[in-house]
Amino acid sequence: MKGGEICMADREFIMSVPPHIVSKDEVGSAMRDVAIALMPVIVVAIGFFRLYAIVNLAACVVAAICSEWVMRKLMKRSVTIDDFSAIVTGLFVGLLLPPAVPFWYAMIGTVIAVAIVKELMGGLGRNMFNPALFGFVSMLVISRFWAMANASYSLGSLDGVTTATPLTFIKGGSLAGVRPGYLELFLGHAGGAVAEVSVLAVLVGAAYLMYKGHITWHIPASIIGTVFILSAILGQNPLYMILAGGVMLGSFFMATDWVTSPDCRVAQVLYGVLIGVLIVVIRLYAAPTGAVAYSILIGNACTPLFNRFVVRKTFGKVKATPVAEVAR
């Protein structure tokens, strides 16, 4: 209120057609649930990578909070750090990167995610792409160009630890020899990114999100099912394809992002199938590192099309019955 007049910039109105569903859920409580769901992954990752994981995750969270605070101050918007969205984004960027990358490298990816993809797009709820995935892919691209331009200096490998990762075996086309087995991939194996240590930890967190009603099975099941079936058709080991890399984390935590995924169940399944096909194609015929991230971002770009062309059933609509049939 300024001089008795309502300042419209301070008020935002959302208009939509009924029915309206009233829920006690708020952004802050939902984001806290996501952070809680990530705890099993974070605990297992710290158990494997210790100080590397702690430093990078802490650096990403600090960078995310500072980025949001600075951007909202510059854009004269209210600071919303208490809604946990910046913290969750920072955690995701830290989990997507390998543990051995320098902490400042992880912080740059986080600044890109929060300052550019989220805040410059209008803030939470207006971003077209998943911020954390965009930040990760940006650093992936930057590292490639940097490596080509400065062959004598490395920014660090984005394929993970110094030993061969599960993605290396997929790209090599052979699963023979010394490689992590199914049980290692499921329970715990130090390969790839920080979050790619344990499928079990990811599933525990995903179960919590489903229990709280924040995600449903439609997107994860369609992604994982598509990767499994298409891999088998193309002569790959389907079980290894879904256990290795970031398929599980991407399916349950990243592709289900409320803002960047379709809101209709049928569209969600089609969206998941598209992502699943892209994961297999990119892994087998391009670069396995980042295949899940690239696929989900392409899916994000297609979300407006899914929302437009896959029409949901109108609430309360019943099939019209001719008067003559009613009279009989």
Report which of 94, 159, 152, 126 is spatially closest to residue 291, judged by C-alpha positions: 159
CATH number of 28-146+162-307: 1.10.3430
Which conformational region is residue 264 in: left (phi greater than 0), alpha (psi within -120 to 50 degrees), or beta?
A: beta
Neighbouring C-beta atoms of residue 309, cutoff 10 Å: 9
* CA nearest neighbour of 87 among 110, 104, 116: 110
On whether the CB atoms of residues 272 and 252 are closer than 8 A, the answer is no
60: pLDDT strictly greater than 90:
yes
User: In this structure, what token pair is assigned to residue 114?
Assistant: 């929060």
Q: 218 or 100, which is more confident?
A: 218
The confidence band for 27, taking pLDDT boundaries of 50, 70 and 90, is confident
Least confident stretch, 93-107, 153-167, 177-191? 153-167
Q: pLDDT tens digits, residue range 194-230?
A: 888 899 999 999 999 999 999 999 999 999 999 999 9
Query: Is the pLDDT higher at 178 or at 129?
Result: 129
228-280 pLDDT, tens digit per residue, is 999 999 999 999 999 988 999 999 999 999 889 998 899 999 999 999 999 99
Mean pLDDT of the chain: 83
Distance from C-alpha of 106 to C-alpha of 96, rounded to nearest angstrom: 10
pLDDT of residue 77: 86
Structure tokens at 31: 């984001």
Domain ranges of the chain: 28-146+162-307
pLDDT band at residue 144 under the 50/70/90 scheme:
confident
pLDDT of residue 277: 97
Share of the chain above pLDDT 90, in %: 53
Q: Which of 128, 295, 309, 49 minimizes the C-alpha distance to 57? A: 49
* Residue linked to tokens 């997507």: 96
What is the model's pLDDT at position 160?
47
* pLDDT value of residue 5: 42
55-64, 156-165, 224-233: range with lowest mean pLDDT: 156-165
Return the bridge partners of 2, or none: 5
Task: Render the burial of 72-111: b for 16+ CB within 10 Å, e for the rest.
Answer: beeeeeeebeebbbbbbbbbbbbbbbbbbbebebbbbbbb
Closest CA relative to residue 92, chosen from 123, 63, 128, 131: 131
Distance CA 39, CA 31 (A): 13
Identity of the amino acid at 278: L
In 211-221, which positions are buried (b, 16+ CB within 10 angstroms) versus exposed (e)?
eeebbeebbbe
**d(Cα 304, Cα 236) in Å, to the nearest integer?**
32
> CA-CA distance, 296 to 169, in Å (whole number)?
22
In this predicted structure, what is the pLDDT of residue 288? 76
pLDDT at residue 178 tops 70: no
Q: Residue 50 in contact with residue 58, Cβ under 8 Å?
A: no
